[in-house]
Amino acid sequence: MSLKPINHLGVLFTNYGTETYIYVLGIKPDREIIIDKNVTLLPVTPHINPDDMIDCFMKYGNRSEYQMGMLISTLRSVTAQLRIRSNDAEDLVFKTWNAQHICVQISAMLNCEIAWYFQANQSADCFNSHTDISMIHSHMLGVPANIVELNEMQCEYIENNVSTALVLDEYEKYSNASNALFCYRFHPKSSIQLSIIWAGIESLFLFEYNIKNKLALSVSRFICGDDSMVDNIKELYTYRCKAVHEYENQDDEILKESVSLLHRLIKKCIEVQSLPNIDQLLE
């Protein structure tokens, strides 16, 4: 898999030997999830001494008060971590960069909020004042409002399908769709959230004219194999237009239905291991 910059992914650090960790907020698996032979998603419960969080930056680290504040704000909320291993330092950077894409794809697969801010040389439950820790990116996206505790079925779903999602992520259409589902939550205005979600939906199809009708037919047939959803999709598209062109905020139900529609499209792409075939859908 190639390195593919995305503007919400950040800077990685290279002095972590053969193993590094990305601390993850928002999900808590009930067991280890094998992503591939080098990457594992682990549940974790940090037990933190507040003085250690201060000392790791102010005594032994880069003395950044901002990063220290971010660590204090988020470390206690860490409930999972990605462990990345490689015997080659350059390869470890490569794998750690792509591990951030894993976070995005898991968020899209489960339709849940995930955040990550720090990369460290130790597991979060072993954190101490001498932990070598660095901030991956400086954009505060917030702490997820809820922790999704992943049951065995969800763990198995990730384990069996995240590799397919990562292959699809190499295609710009799918990448735009999955990233839209990941990041729409970060804007407070519902009209902008709805615009982002529909940008994700439309990115999978990219019609240039007669968009409403063609999109409704294609989405319904891709998800259901028939035209049973056409009228509902057309109605949602009308609200989408009001949000995009008139900046009109919609009620929560419209947003929820649109989010659900994008989530179903992403799950269907993963299920069939491909993007929608427009020509076949509109035959």
At 8 the pLDDT is 45
Boundary-marking domain end, from 134, 160, 186:
160
Q: What is the per-residue pLDDT across 25-70, written as a single tens digit (0 to 9) for each?
A: 999 999 999 999 999 999 999 998 889 999 998 888 777 888 899 9
At 136 the pLDDT is 87
- Is 211 found in the same domain as 272? yes
- Is 208 found in the same domain as 153? no
Task: Measure CA 116 to chain center.
Answer: 10
Domain that holds residue 188: 172-281
* 95 occurs within a structural domain: yes
At 217 the pLDDT is 97
Helical H segments across 111-227, by residue range: 152-168, 172-183, 190-203, 211-224
pTM: 0.90
At 42 the pLDDT is 98
- Is 213 found in the same domain as 123? no
- Give DSSP secondary structure letters for 45-65: -----HHHHHHHHHTTS---H
Q: How far apart are CA 28 and CA 25, in angstroms?
A: 8
* 13 occurs within a structural domain: no
Q: DSSP state, 275?
A: -
| Cα separation values, 254 from 31, 52, 108, 126, Å | 35, 46, 19, 44
Are the CB atoms for 119 and 32 separated by under 8 Å? no
Burial 95-111 (b: 16+ CB within 10 A, else e): bbbbbbbbbbbbbbbbb
Return the structure tokens found at 265: 């499209």
Residues of the chain with pLDDT under 70: 1-16, 140, 247-250
Q: Alpha-carbon dihedral of residues 87, 88, 94, 97, nearest 10 degrees?
A: 50
Number of helices and strands in the chain (H, E): 10, 8
* 6 occurs within a structural domain: no
At 243 the pLDDT is 82
Boundary-marking domain end, from 160, 186, 205:
160
Boundary-marking domain end, from 127, 160, 193:
160
